[in-house]
Structure 1
Amino acid sequence: MARYGMLMNTTKCVGCFACRVSCQMQNELPVKESFIKFYEKELGVFPNVKNEIIPVQCQHCEDAPCASVCPTKATYVTKDGIVLVDEERCIGCKYCMVACPYNARIHSEETGCVEKCRFCAELVAEGKQPACVSTCISNARIFGDLDDPNSDVSKAIIKYNAKPLRPDLGKAKIYYVR
């Protein structure tokens, strides 16, 4: 069984928001709702300054704190490591939103449920890439099986010495090149 994960190379991200727009389209989200947030960080000292764009979304944590606090078990981790929300079971209590250390969940006004990045599980089941990966114009995103040493994502993590955004918060399945 695969254990899916992603690499985000912030040195390649140009902040075009194509990933966010494709995610919104794939998930039929209203314009004001998004599973991907962007943070900007200025690095260096004038005149040698550069701007780093850091896309942040659900990190699909190994031991997902959002799943452990969900009173209805609506949030769960699949066998292949994707953290999902069962909308039939979600009561909209927002405990998972509070527990998420990445602030990666949104409360849908339309459904009353808490939603988040699903790694486009329906596309992955068909052997396709998540929408954010397939539309990234700078190829800053790589998706695949973290347990397969020959996968593009595993090779890139080693090549770039990629690390989780916050290794102090436990094992995340999104790695960053910064």
Structure 2
Amino acid sequence: MDNVRRQFIKGGTALVAATSLYLLHDAGAEDTPQGKVRYALLHDETKCIGCNACAEACRHTNQVPEGVARLRIERSGPYGEFPEQYYRFSRVSCQQCEQAPCVNVCPTGAAYIDDKTGIVSVNSWKCVGCQYCIAACPYHIRFINPLTHSADKCDFCKETNLRDGKQPACVEACPTGALMFGDLEDPHSNIVAALNTQPVYRTKEDLGTHPKLFRIRAKAGGITL
């Protein structure tokens, strides 16, 4: 396999561009076959305390080795003036793009969007380690797993908790309820209700990637992305 990887990497380079229009609550709905789901995650920054319980649960559940991470929480700030200063805790993980550059550039099909769940996933046995997906990801969250030697990232615990009928490990571990997971195709789901009633934002929307990681801003204004 190492020889195959080395021979493939010598093959050349790849470029990707993906742009299209996107509506917050209806994106992809017309193209989603009946009976399939479209999972998304909401991070409520007003509830996040930066405890990293989510990141530790992710590492344990998905057996992510030390030195790399599928999920991390970044702290920025302080913002404002004392005594009204505050910090912002931001989730850094796969954005689960509906127009995923990583999938577009993968030459072997190792990076793919799962037909049944809409989750951007990785078939490690197909990955040749070319790192095209890592270069193409505008969110800089993919990495090479030092144990599998393949590209890796958050997949909403598709092969672990989700497969067993549970919520993603990060959602289950959050002590403040800052994370909400659900199906955008289910009009009765909690996440759809939240998206329809609260102001949310997503990072780098202008790239046309259509991320399915939504966020509730910690404070109104004051932060420029």
TM over 0.5: yes
SS at match of 1:98: helix
Q: How many angstroms does 1:56 deviate by?
A: 1.3
Corresponding position of 1:8: 43
Matched, 1:33 2:68: yes
Residue in structure 1 matching 2:172, options 107, 127, 134? 134
| 1:134-162 CA-partner distances (Å, limit 9, x unpaired) | 11111100000011121011111222222
Of structures 1 and 2, the larger Rg is shown by 2
User: Aligned partner of 2:204: which letter?
Assistant: R
Give TM-score scaled by structure 2 length: 0.76
Residue in structure 2 matching 1:59, options 84, 95, 102? 95
User: Aligned partner of 1:12: which letter?
Assistant: K
| 1:104-154 CA-partner distances (Å, limit 9, x unpaired) | 111112221010001111322332100010111111000000111210111
Which range moved further: 141-150 or 159-168?
A: 159-168
Where do residues 25-174 of structure 1 align in structure 2 (5 Å cutoff)?
Answer: 25-42=60-77, 44-47=79-82, 48-79=84-115, 80-122=117-159, 123-170=161-208, 171-174=210-213
SS at match of 2:85: strand
**Corresponding pairs, count:** 178
Corresponding position of 2:17: none
State the superposition RMSD in angstroms.
1.3
Q: How many angstroms does 1:43 deviate by?
A: 5.5
Percent identity over the alignment?
A: 39
Which 5+ residue runs of structure 2 have no aligned equivalent?
1-35, 218-225
Give TM-score scaled by structure 1 length: 0.95
Q: How many angstroms does 1:30 deviate by?
A: 1.6
Corresponding position of 2:30: none
Which range moved further: 162-171 or 136-145?
A: 162-171
Which structure: greater strand fraction?
1
